[in-house]
Structure formats: structure tokens, C-alpha cells
Structure 1
Amino acid sequence: MTIHSLYVYDRHCICIYYQDWHRTKRPKPAVEGGILPAVSQAVSATPPPNPDGIAATSSAYSSPRNTLSSSTGIVVAFNPSASQSPAASNQRVGTAPGTSSTGLPFDEEAKLVYGVVISLRNMIKKLSGRDEQFVNYRTSAYKLHLFETSSGYKFVMLSDPKTDSLRFVLRQIYVGPFLEYVVRNPLVKMDSREQGIDNEYFRASVDRLIRGLSVFAS
């Protein structure tokens, strides 16, 4: 048994966070403009080359947390470059041995995952009543787990089909790292539609939580 990937969608149906662990086929980078900045270094759109003919680095977008007060010399907030983060370096395309592409851009994959979740949730509500909740479904290749907050955020995880329900894990991510490093962080814009969850502490905390699970396998 193993865990494949995690998606977080906001109340506007936009993917604001992605992380994967045991994926043998990773999606292609999103098309330009198809994904918010800071969602994931592994699937970010390839930036256009600058006038010198050199592609911009993965940290080319401006983070609201990269703030330096030049007048006082005091660092107000600092977001380390993704290239300096071990967790982020493992997320880069082509760094994982044996990893191939699904042939599908990430922005299309994220839309498909969200579409499946919404379609099944609506079908369950219509067939079973409003009190019934959609929490997971299973195919021969994977199992999808869903946790939805009262504010409209959706945490979606894909795992091995034999894995038991991981809804409690998604809830742990929400009440733990998400509330601590995203919701309660005044430097993170929660409803801007401008970029994903730009917080390496959140990514590292999620990674530790997932790797510490008994169902996590190498």
C-alpha cells in the first residue's frame, strides 16, 4: 500500500496545492497560464525565456512573503528558494528515477480530478439525500479520498486501491499544517486567485505527516 498524490482546491474550484510521493507517471508541466504560481515546482508551467535566451528559474514569481525592509535592514518575512529546499528539489520534473510522464498536462489533470469529485458528490446527494457524504471511491488502479471543509476547501488524496479510508489524514492536514501555516498566516493571501499555497513550512509539514503514516511505503 502506498500514497500517490495530494491536491487542495479552494472555494473557486482552483487547485492551489499539489504534492506527490509514489507516482511512476507524473503529469506534464501545466501550460502557461493554466496553473497558479507556487502550486508545485514539479508541475509549474515552463517560464518563457528572457531576452538573453535563458529560461527563468523556478523561483521567478514574486512571493508576498519575500519581504525585506531596506530602510531598517530588518527581515520582515523570508521564503527560502525552492531550490534550497530538499523537499522541493525532490518535486522537480525528471529528478525521480523511473518517473515518466502521463502525457497529460497538470492543469488538465487537476480539472479532471475536480470534475470527478464534484460529479460523484452531486450524484450521491441526489440519489441518497442531503445527509449522505461522498468520502472516497475505488478503482482497480487507485483509491480517491475526499475531505471538504465548511469553507469550501477540498483536500483530495490518491492512494493504493487497497488502502483504508484516509479521510482522517486529510482532516489532520487541515486542522494541523493548513490552519497553522496557511489560514493563521497573515502573509498568505487566502482568496486572491493569484497564486497557490506559497509556504515551504506547510509543504514540509505535510511531507513529514504523510511519510510518518503506516500506509506510506517506499
Structure 2
Amino acid sequence: MTIFSLYIFDRHCDCIYYQDWHRTRPIRPPSIPNFRPGVHRLPPPLDPLAAQSTVRESIFDRDHAVSNVITTNGARVLSGSTPATNRGYTGLPFDEETKLVYGVVLSMRNMVKKLSGRDETFTSYRTNTYKLHLYETLTGYRFVLLSDPSTDSLRFVLRQIYVGPFVDYVVRNPMVQLDSRTEGIDNDHFRAAVDAHMRGLSMFGT
């Protein structure tokens, strides 16, 4: 079992934090106008040719078929295999990839609400190559984790990150602008704490 990557989105639907593990290729930088400092440890591209040389394999680049969508009470509202139409996403810039991740989360949330009622909450879905886990806070932050498809629910891991490192190093840190529209969570202590927490999990992988 392996943990791939973590995204944190704010109430404006913007990605304010990203960290990954077990990736075979580096992230492709976003275009300079869309670069938001502090979200990840990737320097902005110097020119378009430099950006083209750092394409990585995105988890969404391949054909994926959604097999299970899990709600808070464990109900499976979508099962079976659905033909995927994700061709053509190879080499997405980072900003485009985060939009795609958030779009998937938003679409699944809306689908669960329509199929299962307002009392149900979308928490995860699985494909044949990865599983997406979602934890939402009352303040509008959404923590998204991508892992190996065989992994059990990791919402508890996302909640631990929120009530632990996020509260300690972000919420209680007067130097961090929580509602900034121009920069991400640029905090070395938070990044180190998240990395240590993930590496300490039995399902982290090698």
C-alpha cells in the first residue's frame, strides 16, 4: 500500500498546499501568471521550454474506471466499471492538475448528494490504480489524499493532519495568511510535520 499525494483546498476552491511521495517524474510547473508561491517546493519556470522539460506522469493521465464511491455510512452509491475518458491529460501543468482534482471532488460530492440525499457525504472513491480520500472541515478546507487503491479509508489520517499540524503550524501561526488569494501555506514546520506523519504510517509504502 502506498500514499501518493496530498492536496489542501481553501474555501475559494484554490489549492493552497501540495506534497507528494512515490512519484516517478517531477511535477510540471504551472505557467508563470498562475504560479502561487508556498503551495509546493517547486520553483517557477524560467521559460516555457523549461516547463516542458519537467513533465511528470499524473495520476489522472491514464484511463481510470471508477469502481466504488464511499459515503460516510459506508454505502456504495456507485459500483461496477465505467469507461473513463481521461486521455490527453499527459503533462498537465500543476495548476491545471489541481483544478482537475478539485473538479473530480466537486462532481462526486454533487453526485452523492443527488443519489443518496443531503444526509450523505462523499468521502472517497476508488479506481483500478488509485483511491481518493476526502476530509472537509467546518471552515471550508478540503483535504484530499491520493493513495494505492487497496488502502482502507484514510479520512482519519486527514483529520489527524488537520487537528494536529494544520492547527498548530497554520491556524495558530500569525505569519500565515489563511484567506490569502495570492500565496499558499509556506511553512517549513507544517511541511516537515506532514511528511513525518505520513512516513510514520504503516501504509506509507516504500
Q: TM-score, normalised by structure 2?
A: 0.78
Matched residue, 2:196: 208
2:121 equivalent in structure 1: 133
Hey, what does 2:56 align to over in structure 1?
101
Q: Please give the per-residue CA displacement for 1:161-202, whole angstroms capped at 9, x wherever unaligned.
A: 000000000000000000000001111111121200010000
Query: What is the match of residue 120 of structure 1?
Result: 108
Q: Which residue of 1 aligns with 2:45?
A: 46
- Counterpart position of 1:14: 14
Instruction: Give 1:1-218 correspondences, 5 Å limit.
Output: 1-42=1-42, 44-47=43-46, 101-102=56-57, 103-218=91-206
Secondary structure in 2 matching 1:156: strand
How big is each residue's C-alpha offset from its partner over 1:60-106, in whole Å with a ceiling of 9 and x where there is no partner? Answer: xxxxxxxxxxxxxxxxxxxxxxxxxxxxxxxxx97xxxxx6231111
Tell me if structure 2 keeps the 8 A contact 1:33–1:45.
Answer: no
Question: For the aligned residues, what is the CA RMSD?
Answer: 1.7
1:150 offset after TM fit, Å?
A: 0.7
Most deviating of 122-131 and 172-181: 122-131
What is the CA–CA distance in structure 2 between the aligned matches of 1:22 and 1:168, rounded to whole Å?
Answer: 21
Q: CA deviation at 1:214?
A: 0.4
SS in 2 for 1:181: helix
CA distance in 2, matches of 1:158, 1:196: 20
1:41 partner SS: coil
Tell me, in whole angstroms, the C-alpha distance in 2 between the residues paired with 1:12 and 1:116: 16
In the alignment of these two chains, the number of paired residues is 169
Displacement of 1:47: 4.4
- Structure 2 CA distance for aligned equivalents of residues 25 and 141 of structure 1: 17
Bigger Rg, structure 1 or 2:
1
Point out where structure 1 has 5 or more consecutive residues left out of the alignment. Answer: 49-54, 56-92, 95-99
Runs of 4+, deviation exceeding 6 Å: none
* TM-score, structure 1 normalization: 0.74
